[in-house]
Each structure stands twice: as C-alpha cells, then as structure tokens.
C-alpha cells in the first residue's frame, strides 16, 4: 500500500473516536495487549513517563519531552489527537514517524489487525510503542488519550505518572462528578510507582490519595510546593519567576509558549522534572531552561494560544471544556482590541450548554462545523447559543467562518478560533 492508502485503511476500517465518538472507545485493554504481545511487548523495551489529566496533559508532555531532548536523551513522544498530519502523534526528538514506517507497520501486521480488529487509537498506541522500541529511544513521554484506567496507553510501567488536573470532560464515558472522573484518571497510578498530581482539588484529591495508598505509590501535589508567577510575555515567550515552598527557586524561567493556563502546567511540569532528575541526572537545570526556551523548536508544539495573523490579530487555542474555556476567555478579556470576533464549533456529543456561559456576549460569532462526522451542525449550534446572548451566523466550514471574520474585522480587532481541537486543526499552520 502507499502511504495515502494506508491512512485510508486506518481511517476507514478502524473505529476512530474523534470521528465517531464513544462508539470507538473500547472499555478494556484486551486489544492493546493482544497487539503488543504480537509485537514482542515493545512497551517493555524503553523507559517511559505517563501523563494524564483533563487539561494540560499535551502541554506538559511536550515540555517534558523538550527537556529530555535538551539533555541529550533520544526522546519519544506520543500524543493525541493530531491536528493536520497523522504522524504528529508519534515523534522522536520532534521528528514525525516516517511515512514508510507507518506503511510498513500496517502492511507487516495486517493479518493480526484484521484478526484483533482494534480501534484506531489502539492501533496508534501499538504503532508508537513499536516505533520507539525499534528506534531504541532513551525515554518516551506517553500522553493518555481518554481517561486513564482503561486507556490503551495504560499498559506501560512508567518511571512515574503525572495527572495534571481534573475537570469536566467526556462525562458520558468517565462519569459526571469530579470524584468519578478522578477515579478514571487515577487508574494510571501503578504499584510503588511515584505519581505527581498537578492541582489539589477538595473533591478529587482524596481519590488520588486513596489510590496511591492502595498501590503504595509515593504521591506529591505540585501546587502545594511550587508557584509560577508570570513576569513578562511577548508573542513567542512567557517568562516566569518560580517559587518553591515560598522561596525563589528559578528566576527568569523562559517558556516558548503563551496562554493563561501555562503557569499551572509549568507548576506540574516542574514537579515532574524534580522527580525525573533524581532518576536521570542529565536532565539538569540547564536542560530545563534550554528545553522550555526552545519548546516549539524541539517538539513542534502547535495549536495552543498561537498567534497566526496580525492586523487583525488572529489567535487560535485548543481550549474545549469548562475549565479551559473559562481560563481562556478570562485572559482574552484582558487583551486590548476594538472588537472581538469568535469562530467556534464543537463536537456533537459535547454538552455545549455547560460551556457556552463562558463565552463573552459582546463578541460577534461565526459558528462552524468541524469537518468530521462528530462535528456539531453550525445552524444547530447557532440556535443553542442564542439563549446565552451569543449572536452571529452559521457557516458551512471553519475556513469559511474564518474568512468571514477576517472580512468583517478591522485592523485593531481580535479574531479568536476556539471551542474544539478539530476546529483549530482546520486553520492551524502546517
């Protein structure tokens, strides 16, 4: 098969969560274990770190990978979903898995794929683990796809685990209370394996403490020890002063990323770095500073609080649930602009009534359907938004919606594309 034919096979033949939703979610690890056993258990052949949570796990994963790369470690990074290129999911030292490797993996394992009938995500995880093992990475940062306990990535035995935070997302699969969601996320805590929890929350913290105790796993809550204070920022870099237990710990720490949520992600990251440098001395302060300063260069980190145009300013961000959207719009309200234009869309299994209250009523809206089967119809979204005082027009595509916003906007206006990773994916620079 050609690479194009291989992708068509992956997309067409295998259930894919971001296209069809919960029907693609397999509530056990049987398929993943069958695939990896066939492959010789590649996940046992490299060191790994497991990153879960509701928000920020992608950012923390990229930051940790960048630091490892800066330390000279050959670093695998598995993330999901992808924006433009399927190969974004599987990277080594920031380089996408070669197209030939994707083709060879599917071709060589076609019979077991047809026998096991894995989901798209299960097959991607197996492909990533196989690639990392074949390339003999020194370490791999593995981002959880959905939940934790039953996520396909949860067969690894990591050096330590990280849970960034807990918020409402995917309630139809993970539970409709924070303790229930935390219970699923806590499923990545392994016996006698340290775990870093990014944010303390009165409803979720007891769940993590209980799980860690049951597994005899050392646990630390990052925000109880570390505080990151933004000192300055520009289009490409945010500079922080970091305090540990009340004392200045890292002055002038530069992060090659913006966004109002990155201070919290940085706190989680730094606690994870403290854990890692005990196990791997090469990951020292110099590697930390180098990795974070050159985050995008090292890892191809995209789609988060990214400016893609000027006059008017065009900002894209992947915030898509209650906590993420609330934080994003709080920051957006502090940005100087004449008028605000918002291009937005959602997937059709999202409880939009829970997130629409965070959208500013003073903005002009351009409602759009993401180009996936799960995309929520733009006209339906427009009607759902009306009771919340959000008014605008519906468009047949994200690109058409953005074009309309750019035509209407004046040079001093702000255009924001937000609401779903799949909406942002259609306009993110390649």
Mean pLDDT of 147-161: 93
Domain that holds residue 89: 3-299
Query: In the predicted model, is pLDDT for residue 167 greater than 80?
Result: no
Q: State pLDDT tens for residues 261-271.
A: 899 999 999 99
Last residue of a domain, one of 281, 299, 317: 299
Q: What is the CATH number of the domain that holds 82?
A: 3.40.1190.10
Measured distance CA(65)–CA(158) in Å, rounded:
14
What domain count does the chain have? 2
Domain-located, residue 33? yes
The pLDDT tens digits for 126-151 are 999 999 999 999 999 999 987 788 88
Q: Please identify which residue in the block is written with the tokens 């996940």.
A: 43
Beta-carbon contacts of 251 under 8 Å, excluding residues fewer than 6 positions away, are 241, 242
Locate 246 and state its tokens. Answer: 């009340």
Residue-by-residue DSSP string for 116-155:
H---HHHHHHHHHHHHHHHTT-SEEEEE-SSSSTT-TTTT
Regarding whether 108 and 71 lie in a shared domain, the answer is yes
Tens of pLDDT, residue by residue over 79-96, are 998 998 999 999 999 999
DSSP state of 396: S
Cα–Cα nearest to 196, from 53, 355, 30, 356: 53
Q: Do the domain assignments include residue 429?
A: no
Same domain for 343 and 249: no
Q: What is the mean pLDDT of residues 67-78?
A: 98
**What percentage of residues in the chain have a pLDDT greater than 90?**
77
Burial of 410 (0-12, 13-18, 19+ CB in 10 A): exposed
Average pLDDT rounded to a whole number, residues 42-63? 96
Residue 378: the pLDDT is: 97
For 36, the token pair is 């990896």
Where are any strands of DSSP class E within 302-382? 306-309, 313-316, 340-344, 364-368
Give me the mean pLDDT over the 107-136 stretch. 94
Same domain, 244 and 181: yes
The residue written with tokens 């490299």 in the block is 46
Cα–Cα distance, 301 to 61 (Å, whole number) = 10
Q: Render 196-229 in DSSP notation, one character per residue.
A: EES---TTTHHHHHHHHHHHT--EEEGGGTEEEE
Q: Are residues 117 and 25 in the same domain?
A: yes
Bridge-based pairing of strands 95-96 and 219-221 is unpaired
Q: What is the pLDDT of residue 173?
A: 47
* Closest residue by Cα to residue 59 from 286, 280, 194, 256: 256
Last residue of a domain, one of 233, 268, 299: 299
Q: Region 3-27: what's the mean pLDDT?
A: 69
20 and 116 both lie in a single domain: yes
Tell me what pLDDT residue 324 has: 87
CATH number for the domain harbouring residue 311:
3.90.190.20
Q: Tell me: pLDDT of 168 over 80.
A: no
Domain-located, residue 113:
yes
Q: Is residue 319 assigned to a domain? A: yes
Q: Report the pLDDT averaged over residues 160-178.
A: 73
pTM (2 decimals)? Answer: 0.91
Q: At which residue do the structure tokens 């090659």 appear?
A: 256
Average pLDDT of the segment spanning 320-326: 87
Q: Is residue 430 part of a domain?
A: no
Angle CA 181–184–187, to nearest 5: 145
**Sorting pLDDT into bands at 50, 70 and 90, what band is 170?**
very low
Looking at the structure, tell me whether residues 151 and 214 fall in a common domain.
Answer: yes
- Is the pLDDT reported for residue 97 higher than 80? yes
Instruction: Answer whether residue 394 is part of any domain.
Output: yes
User: Is 27 a residue whose pLDDT tops 80?
Assistant: no
Mean pLDDT of 209-232: 97
Q: Does 202 lie in the same domain as 231?
A: yes
Residue 162 clears pLDDT 60, i.e. is over it: yes
Closest CA to 250 of 240, 264, 261: 240
Mean pLDDT of 98-107: 98
235 lies in the same domain as 325: no
Both 313 and 220 in a single domain?
Answer: no
Average pLDDT estimate for 393-409: 97
Closest by Cα among 191, 198, 260, 193 to 227:
198
Q: 369: helix, coil or strand?
A: coil
Beta-sheet strand order (sheet of 95-96): 95-96, 90-92, 75-78, 139-143, 47-52, 160-163, 195-197, 219-221
Instruction: Tell me: do 170 and 274 sit in the same domain.
Output: yes
Q: What is the distance between the alpha carbons of residues 417 and 366, in angstroms, rounded to a whole number?
A: 9
Same-domain check for residues 228 and 343 = no
Per-residue confidence band for 122, with pLDDT thresholds at 50, 70 and 90: very high
Determine the pLDDT at residue 172.
46
**Which pLDDT belongs to residue 277?**
96
Of 299, 321, 337, the one marking the end of a domain is: 299
Whether residues 174 and 245 fall in one domain: yes
Angle separating helix axes 57-70 and 285-293, nearest 10 degrees: 120
Structure tokens at 215: 């597994």
Contacts with 133 (C-beta within 8 Å, 6 or more apart), sequence order: 40, 42, 43, 45, 46
Contact 308, 427 (CB under 8 A): yes
Residue 69 has pLDDT above 90, yes or no: yes
pLDDT, mean of residues 148-170: 88
For the chain, give the number of residues.
430
Instruction: Evaluate if residue 16 carries a pLDDT over 70.
Output: no
Which pLDDT score is estimated for 260? 83
φ, ψ for residue 248, nearest 5 deg: -60, 130
């Amino acid at each position: 098969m050609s690479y194009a034919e291989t992708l068509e096979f992956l997309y067409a033949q295998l259930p894919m969560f971001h296209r069809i939703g919960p029907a693609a979610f397999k509530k056990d690890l049987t398929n993943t274990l069958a695939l990896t056993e066939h492959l010789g258990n590649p996940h046992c052949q490299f060191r790994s770190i497991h990153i879960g949570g509701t928000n920020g796990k992608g950012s923390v994963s990229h930051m940790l990978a960048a630091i490892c790369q800066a330390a000279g470690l050959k670093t695998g990074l598995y993330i999901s979903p992808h924006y433009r290129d399927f190969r974004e999911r599987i990277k080594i030292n920031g380089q996408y898995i070669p197209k030939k490797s994707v083709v060879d993996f599917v071709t060589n394992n076609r019979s077991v794929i047809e026998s096991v009938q894995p989901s798209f995500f299960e097959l991607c995880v197996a492909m990533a683990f196989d690639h990392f093992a074949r390339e003999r990475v020194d370490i791999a940062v593995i981002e959880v796809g959905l939940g934790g306990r039953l996520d396909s990535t949860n067969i690894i035995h990591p050096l330590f685990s990280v849970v960034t935070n807990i918020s409402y997302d995917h309630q139809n699969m993970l539970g409709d209370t924070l303790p229930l969601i935390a219970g699923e996320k806590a499923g990545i805590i392994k016996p006698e394996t340290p775990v870093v929890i990014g944010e303390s929350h009165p409803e979720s913290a007891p769940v993590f403490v209980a799980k860690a105790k049951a597994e005899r796993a050392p646990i630390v809550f990052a925000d109880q020890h570390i505080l990151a204070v933004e000192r300055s920022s520009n289009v490409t870099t945010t500079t922080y002063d970091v305090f540990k237990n009340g004392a200045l710990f890292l002055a002038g720490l530069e992060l090659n990323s913006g966004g109002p949520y990155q201070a919290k992600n940085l706190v989680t990251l730094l606690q994870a770095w403290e854990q890692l440098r005990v196990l791997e001395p090469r990951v020292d302060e110099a590697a930390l500073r180098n990795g974070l300063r050159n985050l995008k260069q090292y890892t191809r980190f995209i789609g988060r609080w990214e400016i893609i145009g000027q006059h008017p300013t065009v900002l894209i961000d992947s915030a898509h649930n209650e906590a993420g959207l609330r934080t994003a719009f709080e920051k957006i309200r502090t940005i100087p602009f004449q008028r605000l234009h918002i291009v937005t869309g959602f997937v059709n299994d999202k409880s939009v009534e829970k997130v629409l209250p965070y959208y500013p009523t003073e903005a002009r809206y351009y409602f759009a359907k993401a180009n996936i089967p799960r995309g929520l119809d733009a006209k339906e979204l427009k009607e759902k938004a009306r009771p919340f005082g959000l008014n605008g027009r519906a468009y047949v595509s994200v690109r058409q919606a953005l074009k309309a916003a750019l035509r209407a906007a004046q040079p001093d206006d702000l255009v924001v594309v937000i609401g779903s990773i799949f909406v942002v994916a259609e306009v993110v620079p390649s």
